[in-house]
Amino acid sequence: MNQTNRLEVHMFPCLSDNYGFLIHDHTNNLTATIDTPEVTAIEKALNENNWSLTHIINTHHH
């Protein structure tokens, strides 16, 4: 990854008709998930990228 690119966005499927997003900050080793309704899908995506979840951002009820 280019040193100037601090953030990486990873989209992954969850539930039967939805997608989740992880945003990873490589500089500070922080990872956030946004409005993701399925824990198993989040854990799988985190493990595939060898990231640890540090922030959960919910903009509305799930």
Q: How confident is the model at residue 21 (pLDDT cuts 50, 70, 90)?
A: very high
Which pTM was predicted? 0.80
The sheet that has 7-14: what strands, in order across it? 7-14, 18-25, 30-34, 55-57
Q: How confident is the model at residue 5 (pLDDT cuts 50, 70, 90)?
A: low
**What are 40's two structure tokens?**
């198993």
pLDDT at 6: 87
pLDDT at 11: 93
Q: Which residue has the higher pLDDT, 14 or 48?
A: 48
Mean pLDDT, rounded, of the chain: 89
Q: How many CB atoms lie within 10 A of CB 33?
A: 22
β partners of residue 25: 7, 30
How far apart CA 48 and CA 43 sit, in angstroms, is 9
Please give the angle made by the CA atoms of 38, 33 and 18, to the nearest 5 degrees.
Answer: 45
